[in-house]
Amino acid sequence: MADESDTGPTAAPDAAAGTESQTGKKQRSARRQKATAEQIRGSKTTAAKPKKYSEQERVEKLKLIETEVAEHNSTLKDAIKRAGISEQTYYQWKRAAKPVGQKADTPVSTTDELADLVQLENENQRLRNLLAEKLRTENAELRRRLGLD
C-alpha cells in the first residue's frame, strides 16, 4: 500500500488527457459564484416593462382590430399582432369595454316595472282564453264528426 505522505510525481493541471487515466480523477472547473443582489436587480431593469394604455388608446386599438377583421383584410390573430397587443389583452379589453350600441343603464322605476308586469299578465290571460276557446270548438267539431255526441 502506498504511503499517504508520499508526494511522488504529480501531473500539472494543464497536462494532457493521458494523466487523467493515471490519477483516476477528473479535474473540476471552478464553481460559478452566486449572483449578488445588485446583479439580480440589474437584470430586472433590462426586462421590458408592460406598457399602460389609456382608455382612449384601448378604444382606438379595439376599433382598428374590428375594422381590419370586418373588411376581411386579415384574421383576428393577425390584426391583434399588428396592433401590438396579446390576444389575452384584446379579450380583456373587449370584455371591459361597453358595446357602442348599448344604452347606459338607467334605473327603471318600480311603478313602471309593476305596470309592465300587470300588462303582460293581462295579455297572457287573454291569449290563454283564446287558445282554450279554439280547442273547445275543435274538440266539439271532432266529436260531432265521429258521432260521439
Please count the structural domains in the chain.
Answer: 2
| 74 is a domain residue | yes
- 117 and 92, same domain (yes or no): no
The answer to whether 92 touches 85, Cβ cutoff 8 Å, is: no
- 114 and 92, same domain (yes or no): no
Instruction: Give the whole-angstrom CA distance, residue 140 versus residue 24.
Output: 111
- 92 and 121, same domain (yes or no): no
Instruction: Give the whole-angstrom CA distance, residue 46 versus residue 114.
Output: 62
Span 52-78, mean pLDDT?
Answer: 89
| 143 is a domain residue | yes
pLDDT value for 130? 97
- 89 and 125, same domain (yes or no): no
pLDDT over 70 (residue 144): yes
| Signed CA dihedral, 94, 100, 104, 110: sign only | negative
pLDDT, tens only, 82-106? 889 999 999 999 898 866 555 555 5
Query: Nearest Cα to 63, choosing from 92, 90, 103?
Result: 90
- 81 and 114, same domain (yes or no): no
SS3 content of the chain, % helix, strand, coil (to 5): 60, 0, 40
The residue range of the domain holding 84 is 55-96
What distances in angstroms separate CA 128 from CA 45, 61, 132, one per listed residue?
A: 73, 52, 6
Instruction: Identify the band that residue 47 occupies on the pLDDT scale cut at 50, 70 and 90.
Output: low
Span 127-131, mean pLDDT?
Answer: 97
- 63 and 88, same domain (yes or no): yes
| 17 is a domain residue | no
| 61 is a domain residue | yes
Q: Which residues, other chains included, contact 147 with Cβ-Cβ below 8 Å and sequence gap of 6+? A: none
| 37 is a domain residue | no
Instruction: Give the whole-angstrom CA distance, residue 68 versus residue 61.
Output: 11
- 92 and 116, same domain (yes or no): no
| 18 is a domain residue | no
| 41 is a domain residue | no
